Amino acid sequence: MRSYCRHPILPMPASETLPQLEVRVLDLVRNEVLQTPPGFTVEADLFEAGLDSMAIMQLLLLLEEHFGKAIPTGSVSRANFKNAKAIATLLVDQGYEIIPSAEENPAPQSSAAPTLSPDVVAVAERQPVGGQALEAKSFSSAEKLAYLPLRDCDFFTHAFDEMLRKAGQGGHIAHSFIELDQIPDVAALKKLLTVLPGHFPFPIFTAQLKQPSLFSLPRWEPAAHPRPLDLHLWSQVGSSGRLADHGAQTFTDLQTQLDDIINTSLPQQDDGWMNVRFDLVEKADSTCVFVFSWSHLIMDGIGAEFFLVELNRLLGGGGEPVPAFDLTDLADPRGWGERWKTAKVMPSFFDQVMAKPFEALGSTQLSAGRAHFQVLTLTEAQTQEAARRSAEVCGPLINMPFHLACAMRAHQAVFQHRNISPESLMCCVPIQVRKKGTRGPLFQNHLTMFFCNLLAAELGTLETAAGSLHQQHTRFIKDKIGDAFRDLMWMMRPMPPWLHMFFINFHMKGKFSSFYHSNTGPFAPELTRFAGARVTNAYHVPSFSDPPGTGVFANEKNGRLVLTLCWRDGTLAEEERQIFIRQLMADLGVA
């Protein structure tokens, strides 16, 4: 994970006291792993600051790199990683030498914010904005978006979006669902959406990707004629009909209606695009579902959660504004030569991952097909049992390999039902590059990709599958493959979208993956109410293509694990879907 505004890392002394070690551990954590608030001390809770399983895996390698001590899996516990003080004590227990002295070490001081390039300063019209100032400032409606450069991975999402649109799969569009216990304040929602596009930074909702000249890079520019953001209302037959009073259209089957929403493309007109859509669905039991559909060109799943938090704040829900953009990466001074030093490992890495043929349940070529999804929400007791099972397999604080192994074995079960024996299964998992604990930003994609595969023999048991994935992800972090992928995406920026996807197709053999998977963790924990209604559940239905045709995604809400199974027409028969779910639940330990 790269950052361009850091606390200085204190140099390693010839010998040091335990307090000095504690400060250096804290400095390492907040420099490389967490975005910590002012006044954060060696005794402050790292888990409250955002430390999660992915961050712990990164931290374990950093501790070994900086202090020369590998932490055994059995010592990776909440007690040992609750704060920098506990981690320092753990290092000493593992043999790191300190001198017995009460000498105190002064706290490290923050470095100055970087100076941004003129292109970055031009992002906001009438007011130059630095990376730190942009996050700290609350913009007024009088300010306007002049243009916004794309981040490295945005160029890939642009190419992928064009590919899906040409294939009749609607584009790279994802959906965030909030289930509510009652009808929210519809009038307030409608009023806010009417005025939202005129307030910075929300013109991006109707902005276009434009290329100012033949040799320039595409960038976001405001629409010539911004369209209003509508709230589409739907009322199920048999409900109280409260949304009918607001002009809602009626429907019969709930799942068909929700499938209709996720299969609705976002229009791209010559004078302005529609990059978001809002739907409010009243169910027969008079509860409600709010659906936020968004183009993956403008944000990722975590950004969508931040936006929903910000939308609720604007509706009167309280809280501090969520920052809109993170422009610090655009200030990276490295040129092509420096980037290539990092990126050059990617072609050979791709070749290693693709060395064994892998299969997908869907089509072998891109084709149009309706998308479907099913949500599986575990009870609190089932969620706790799944966590216990994960702790048995991967340790108490590292769950990504466990959930990914469960998804792989569920797909393997369907292949076995088809009497097909793939040599391997491959998955590319999006990994957030935001520092953990960062509040925002809303927009731009902050992702790299973790590429992994499992051979048929490794899929035999959950323990073997999870163990192999754990080792692969450790190598992924240690060898900085995520940084290599991001720099490769940076170098591919000048490619037109069709050439970009030709390169990706060539290396990934046209199938992209055996399936899609992600685990976004707790879904906006602070979002307990929305527009006056109580939030009972929340989850994402991400964008997914055929091939590979399937995806299984995970998050948590209100202390419950939520699994979203997605598939396209012709990919999973009903019997196969039940086989998939049975295997998934069995491996989770909740069958």
Using a CB cutoff of 8 Å and minimum separation of 24, what contacts does 472-476 make? Answer: 473/57, 473/400, 473/401, 474/57, 474/61, 476/450, 476/451, 476/452
Q: Sign of torsion, CA 245 249 254 257?
A: negative
Closest of 296, 349, 326, 297 to residue 483, by C-alpha: 349
> Distance (Å, rounded) from C-alpha 377 to C-alpha 388?
17
DSSP designation for 153: T
> Would residue 494 count as lying in a domain?
no
CATH of the domain at 299: 3.30.559.10
Which residue blocks in 47-102 are alpha helix, DSSP H?
53-67, 84-93
Peptide bond between residue 522 and the one before it cis (omega within 30 degrees of 0): no
Task: Based on the fold, state whether residues 201 and 166 are members of the same structural domain.
Answer: yes
Tell me: the pLDDT tens digits for 197-213? 888 889 999 999 999 88
DSSP 481-534: HHHHHHHHHHHTTTS-HHHHHHHHHHHHTTT--SBEEEEEEES-TT-SEETTEE
Taking 90 as the threshold, does the pLDDT of residue 352 lie above it?
A: no
Sorted by sequence, the CB contacts under 8 Å of residue 136 that are 6+ apart come out as 323
> d(Cα 382, Cα 85) in Å, to the nearest integer?
34
Residues 99 and 158 grouped into a single domain: no
In a domain? residue 407? no
Residue 53 shares a structural domain with residue 153: no
The last residue of a domain, from among 83, 112, 141: 112
* Domain presence at residue 524: no
To the nearest whole percent, how much of the chain has pLDDT over 90?
A: 65
Other CB atoms within a 10 A radius of the CB of residue 344 amount to: 14
Range of the domain at 282: 122-328
Q: Is residue 315 part of a domain?
A: yes
Q: Which of 62-71, 402-411, 412-421 has the lowest mean pLDDT?
A: 62-71
Mean local confidence (pLDDT), 306-320: 94
Mean pLDDT, the chain, as a whole number?
A: 87
Residues in contact with 94: Cβ distance below 8 Å, sequence separation at least 6, in sequence order: 69, 70, 71, 72, 75
Which residue type sits at 426? M
Residue 370 lies in a domain: no
Question: Which amino acid would we find at residue 135?
Answer: E
Please tell me which residue, 126 or 401, carries the higher pLDDT value.
Answer: 401
Whether 7 and 103 map to the same domain: the answer is yes
Both 80 and 161 in one domain: the answer is: no
Query: Are 140 and 271 in the same domain?
Result: yes
Same domain, 161 and 304: yes
pLDDT tens across 516-531, in order? 999 999 999 999 999 9
Highest mean pLDDT (candidates 106-120, 148-162, 273-287): 273-287
Strands (E), 302-405: 371-377
CA 292 to chain centre: 16
Same domain, 104 and 133: no
Confidence of residue 492 (pLDDT cuts 50, 70, 90): very high
Higher per-residue pLDDT: 217 or 4: 217
C-alpha distances in Å from residue 406, one per residue of 110, 156, 298, 365, 552:
42, 28, 31, 26, 10
Separation in Å, CA 242 to CA 146, 282, 550: 41, 8, 36
Say yes or no: 14 and 138 in one domain: no
Residue 476 in domain: no
How many degrees, rounded to 5, is the angle at CA 44 between CA 63 and CA 41?
Answer: 80
| 498 assigned to some structural domain | no
Residues 160 and 293 in one domain: yes
Q: Which of 112, 131, 155 is the last residue of a domain?
A: 112
Residue 57 has pLDDT above 70, yes or no: yes
Same domain, 271 and 176: yes
The residue from 81, 112, 143 where one domain ends is 112
In a domain? residue 314: yes
* Residue 573 CB neighbours (<10 A): 13
CATH of the domain at 45: 1.10.1200.10
Partners of residue 374 on adjacent β-strands: 565
Overall average pLDDT of the 540-547 stretch: 93
106 with 140, same domain: the answer is no
How many domains does the chain fold into? 2
Per-residue pLDDT of 326-340, as tens digits, reads: 877 777 889 899 999
